[in-house]
Amino acid sequence: MPPTLLVLADSLAFHGPERGEPADDPRLWPNIAAAALGGRAELVAGIGWTARHAWHALCHDPRVWAVMPRVDALVLGVGGMDTLPSPLPTALRELIPALRPDGLRRAVRTGYRRAQPVLSWGFARAVPGGGPVALPPHLTVRHLDLCRAAVVAIRPGIPVVAILPPLHRAPEYAGVHAGRPAAERATREWAGAHDVALLDLPALVGEHVLGGHGNPDGMHWGWPGHTAVGEACAAVLRPLLRK
């Protein structure tokens, strides 16, 4: 049977060099990986998703429940957004879209986006460890493992692949990425303890992003980046699926 990949991911999985694309676009890395394996990808993703958002989707999205009986591999393409600076506590920042009236919401959103690069830069230089991030590493790996354990409980023995946090050069964060090293260490430790394979995104697309070959936002990838990650994901999964 052709394999089905359940991919829980952030916007790096569906955002190309210009904009977000439909989940079934064959140029996106989850679809490249699935096609190389002769199967298909079920992509469940969102803008700015952290590992906690992925766990919430796994619990609450009935589309995930529908595909679960036929999942052959789990790909956890989240954890990168967790490492980004978050000068305003994440819980408060995520309430901005709910503010009313509309004028207040727009004013707060505009003000925060203007302040975010300045605050990110300031925290990185004044606070040990670089200041607050969207999700601390211990919570990232906790939610990654909740996702892994839940899916493997239903589909025992399937391979699980996760990512190492990618690099960025985003002006929106003043290029600050002080939280990434700690997140990578925690992810490697967790993956080693649970037999989870890893995609090394810095090695695969770091030069692509830092060289300005991706999206002008300094975070998302061009199509060569998607191709590199998709092919690498397929290469990791191919021998595991044969087992």
Phi, psi of 74 (to 5 degrees): -110, 125
116 contact partners, CB below 8 Å, separation of at least 6: 85, 87, 172, 173
CB-based contact 49:147 (threshold 8 Å): no
CB-based contact 230:33 (threshold 8 Å): yes
pLDDT of residue 124: 85
Local confidence pLDDT in tens for the 243 residues of the chain: 899 999 999 999 999 999 999 999 999 999 999 999 999 999 999 999 999 999 999 999 999 999 999 999 999 999 999 999 998 888 888 899 999 999 999 999 999 999 999 989 998 888 888 889 999 999 999 999 999 999 999 999 999 999 999 999 999 999 999 999 999 999 999 999 999 999 999 999 999 999 999 999 999 999 999 999 999 999 999 999 987
pLDDT of residue 39: 98
**pTM of whole model > 0.85?**
yes
Q: Could you count the other beta carbons within 10 Å of the beta carbon of residue 101?
A: 7
The two most distant CA atoms of the chain are separated, in Å, by 57
pLDDT of residue 5: 98
pLDDT of residue 243: 77
Q: Which residues of 183-204 are buried (b: 16+ CB within 10 A; e: fewer)?
A: bbebbbebbeeeebbbbebbeb
Instruction: Set out the domains of the chain in order of their start, with CATH numbers.
Output: 4-84+133-242 (3.40.50.1110)
Q: How far apart are alpha carbons 103 and 99 in whole angstroms? A: 9
pLDDT of residue 187: 98
pLDDT of residue 92: 86
CB-based contact 46:53 (threshold 8 Å): yes
pLDDT of residue 123: 86
If you search the block for the tokens 């980046």, which residue do you land on?
Answer: 225
pLDDT of residue 18: 95
